Amino acid sequence: MKKLFLVLTLISVLGFSQSVKAQEPDATGFIKTYAQPGGMLSFEWIIGVPVGTMNSNFISSTSTRGFNAEYRYLFNSPVSVGGGLSWQGFSEKYDRDTYEFDGGAITSTRFNYLYTFPLYVNFHYYPVKSNYIFPFVGVNIGGVHVDKQDQIGRYYIQTKEWEFMVAPEIGALIKFDPYSSFGITVKARYNYILYNVGKFNDLSQLNFYVGGTFIF
């Protein structure tokens, strides 16, 4: 009886230790969802830098007006699919000058505005397994509503269109506590917006994101 009690006690202790070990973050684990499906919900602030013909022909000033909300679903592998939406506003004031247009010219101060509202799906790959820092590369594809405004004196020109967008990105999710379901996301994304109107070939930006991510 005593031997049976010792055997059962040993089995119980081993089982409990294995259970605890399974719940602890593994040094080779992948977030919380490497062994089981799960999700990530992020809310991020955007800093946008105009590039390409947007920078040379319309607005060159950096924007700090932007936000992004995004969801990703992680599979039993270092791959996720998801989607998101964002809003971003750019503006620039030009000094008083003479601006030519079809049919004449006008001398006045000029204000340019651009507002974008992307809706997209995304795909990400996480090449490194860790408990604290999870680098990723990904691509976002979707449509973006473009509101472009050009005001010169009393003259005001506005165009609103839906355009195609593709946006590769690189970044990382940072967790300060491996047991926590919250982390910080930082990333850089190149937003290429197809916009063949007038003297524009695109309305693209190099965006930088920082925000909070909930893991569940």
DSSP conformational letter for 28: T
Both tokens assigned to 201: 């070939």
Please check the confidence at residue 144 and state whether its pLDDT lies above 50. yes
Do the Cβ atoms of 74 and 39 come closer than 8 Å?
A: yes
Please check the confidence at residue 98 and state whether its pLDDT lies above 60. yes
pLDDT value of position 116: 96
Do the Cβ atoms of 204 and 55 come closer than 8 Å?
A: no
Was domain 32-215 assigned CATH 2.40.160.20? yes
Beta strand spans in 2-78 (E): 38-51, 65-74
Predicted structure pTM score: 0.79
Distant-in-sequence, close-in-space partners of 186: CB < 8 Å, separation ≥ 6: 171, 172, 174, 208, 209, 210
Please check the confidence at residue 173 and state whether its pLDDT lies above 70. yes
